[in-house]
Amino acid sequence: MGSNRMRFGEKILFGIFALIAVFAILSFVMLEVYRSHLNRPMYPVTTSFDFTPEGKRGSELFRERGCTDCHRAVRNGTNNGVSLDGIGSRKTLDQIYSFLKNPEKNYETKTFDHGPNKEAKYVAGLPDSELHAMAVFLSELKAIQGSPDAEAPPPGGSGFIDEMVKIWAPEEWKADRRDIRLEEPSQQQGTAAPATATPSAPNAK
Ligand code: HEC
C-alpha cells in the first residue's frame, strides 16, 4: 500500500469528521436563513432604557464590580442568577439604593447572597457614589410593556390567555388572587403589586 493512501480506519475517522463539519455548516446556514426570515428578534429585548450620564457610569460599574457574575441586565451577565431587566418598573431608585446599602433590612424575604457573611457582602461596602450610580442605572431599566418583565400585561384581552387561565389555574388561585387585567389602568399605575397577585405568573407561589 502506498504511503500516500489512507488506511481503512483513517477513512472512517475522516468520514466522521467530514460529517460533523457538514452538519455544523448546514445547521449554521439553516439558523441564519431562519433568522433572516424572522420578523421579530430571536432573543427579544425586554427592557428599554435611556441612560442619564450617571446611569451610564452605573452600567459600567455594574460590569466592573462583578455584579454580572450573578445578575443579568441588558444582555450583560449570566442567565443563572437574578435577572435585573425591568427592575426600574418594579422598584424606585430609593428602594434599589437602600437595598444595596442595607440588603437584609430592605428585602421582602430573607436574602440569599446580599448581606453580611454572604457571598455578595462586598456590595454593601462599595463607595456610596458607586452604589448610587448602579442604583440609577438599574432604576432606568424599564420593562417593555407586554414583555415577561413587565408587571402589567398589555391592554386588551387575549383569548389564548383567558383559555389558559381557565384550564390551568387551580381554583384556589382564583379565590385569593385578583386578575389585574380586569382592573382600570389607573389602579395599576404605580401600585407595586406583589408578584403573587399576577395571574400570569404561575411559578410565583
Ligand atoms: C454572589 C452573587 C451576587 C452578586 C455578586 C451580586 N448579587 Fe445582587 N442579588 C443576588 C441574589 C441571590 C439576589 C436576591 C436577593 C438575595 O437573595 O440576596 C440579588 C438581588 C439584587 C437586587 C434586588 C433585586 C430585586 O428584585 O429586588 C439588586 C438591585 C442587586 N442584587 C444588585 C446587585 C449589584 C448592583 C451587584 C454588584 C455590585 C450585585 N447585585 C452583586 C446575587 C448577587
**Per-residue model confidence as pLDDT tens digits over 35-73:** 889 887 776 778 888 899 999 999 999 999 999 999 999
What pTM did the predictor assign? 0.65
Candidate from 40-49, 163-172, 180-189 with smallest mean pLDDT = 180-189
What does the pLDDT read at residue 46?
Answer: 81
- The residue written with cell numbers 468520514 in the block is 15
What does the pLDDT read at residue 29?
Answer: 96
What does the pLDDT read at residue 75?
Answer: 81
Q: What angle do CA 18, 42, 80 make, to 5 degrees?
A: 90
Average pLDDT over residues 140-158: 77
Q: Higher model confidence: residue 78 or residue 138?
A: 138
Sign of CA dihedral 168, 170, 174, 180: negative
Q: CB under 8 Å to 98, separation ≥6 — which residues?
A: 105, 106
- Assess whether the C-beta atom of 99 lies below 6 angstroms from ligand 1: yes
28 C-alpha to center of ligand 1: Å?
A: 36
Question: How far lies 78's CA from each of 60, 69, 107, 182, in Å?
Answer: 16, 6, 22, 35
Helical pair 128-139 and 93-101, crossing angle rounded to 10 deg: 140
Neighbour tally for 103: CB within 10 Å: 20
- Assess whether the C-beta atom of 135 lies below 6 angstroms from ligand 1: no
Tens digit of pLDDT for each residue in 90-135? 899 999 999 999 999 989 889 999 999 999 999 999 999 999 999 9
Domain 47-143 -> CATH class: mainly alpha
Average pLDDT over residues 189-204: 44
Q: Higher model confidence: residue 59 or residue 152?
A: 59
DSSP 8-state secondary structure symbol assigned to residue 182: G
What does the pLDDT read at residue 197?
Answer: 42
SS3 40: coil
83 C-alpha to center of ligand 1: Å?
A: 9
- Assess whether the C-beta atom of 143 lies below 6 angstroms from ligand 1: no
Tens digit of pLDDT for each residue in 3-35? 678 899 999 999 999 999 999 999 999 999 998
**Contact by Cβ (8 Å): 134, 67:** yes
- Assess whether the C-beta atom of 137 lies below 6 angstroms from ligand 1: no
Q: CB under 8 Å to 119, separation ≥6 — which residues?
A: 70, 113
- The residue written with cell numbers 442567565 in the block is 79
